[in-house]
């Protein structure tokens, strides 16, 4: 572990405790979905187009970090996700990035937090998609 063993010496318990606490903090902050947040609203629409976006690391790690560096990148970086064009009941196109995998033609409910009333685009983590019934979009 090179750098980490220099920081923590021969105390692997301390190292595991610090890294475990850091990981729990990261995971705990990401646990809630947009749907559960105050002020969330939703609309129903049909997936018209989508493309897959690759995972992107948040930082580079050297060979000293080994598996821990790769794990931190998986947690802290941008995961593989999809960017959808969803047509709502008003025939408006909305662009939504989400980790959920929904095929083209699927009816979805999109939960969002709007920064302004006419917002039509949401980045990863700013919307939650779930399968739904009742699509009126053509």
- Say yes or no to pLDDT of 3 above 80: no
110 dihedral zone (left: phi>0; alpha: psi -120 to 50; beta): beta
pLDDT digits (tens, 9 = 90+) for 47-77: 999 999 876 665 555 555 566 666 665 565 6
CA angle 86, 90, 91 (to 5 degrees): 50
Find out whether 137 and 46 touch, Cβ atoms under 8 Å.
Answer: yes
Q: How much is the pLDDT for 102? A: 94
How many angstroms separate the CA atoms of 57 and 30, rounded? 17
Q: Helix crossing, 12-29 with 66-76: angle to 10°? A: 20
How many angstroms separate the CA atoms of 71 and 41, rounded? 34
- Mention every residue, 6+ apart, whose C-beta is less than 8 A from residue 14: 8
Find out whether 110 and 35 touch, Cβ atoms under 8 Å.
Answer: no
Question: Which two tokens mark 61?
Answer: 């790690």
Which residue has better confidence, 124 or 109?
A: 109
**Residue 94: band (very low, low, confident or very high) from pLDDT cuts 50, 70, 90:** very high
Measured between its terminal Cα atoms, the distance across the chain in Å is: 56
Query: Cα–Cα distances in Å, from 99 out to 22, 49, 52, 81, 125?
Result: 23, 15, 9, 4, 9
Q: Which CATH class is domain 33-55+78-131?
A: mainly beta
- Domain boundaries along the sequence of the chain: 33-55+78-131
How many angstroms separate the CA atoms of 135 and 108, rounded? 8
């Amino acid at each position: 572990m090179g750098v980490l063993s220099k920081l923590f010496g021969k105390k692997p318990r301390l190292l595991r405790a610090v890294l475990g606490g850091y990981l729990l903090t990261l995971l705990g902050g990401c646990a809630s979905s947009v749907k559960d947040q105050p002020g969330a609203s939703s609309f129903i629409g049909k997936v018209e187009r989508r493309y897959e976006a690759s995972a992107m690391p948040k930082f580079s790690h050297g060979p000293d970090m080994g598996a821990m560096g790769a794990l931190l990148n998986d947690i802290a970086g941008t995961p593989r996700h999809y960017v959808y064009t969803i047509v709502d009941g008003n025939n408006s196109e909305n662009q939504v990035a989400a980790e959920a995998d929904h095929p083209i033609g699927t009816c979805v409910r999109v939960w969002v937090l709007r920064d302004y009333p006419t917002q039509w685009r949401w980045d990863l983590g700013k919307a939650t998609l779930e399968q739904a019934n009742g699509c009126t979009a053509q």
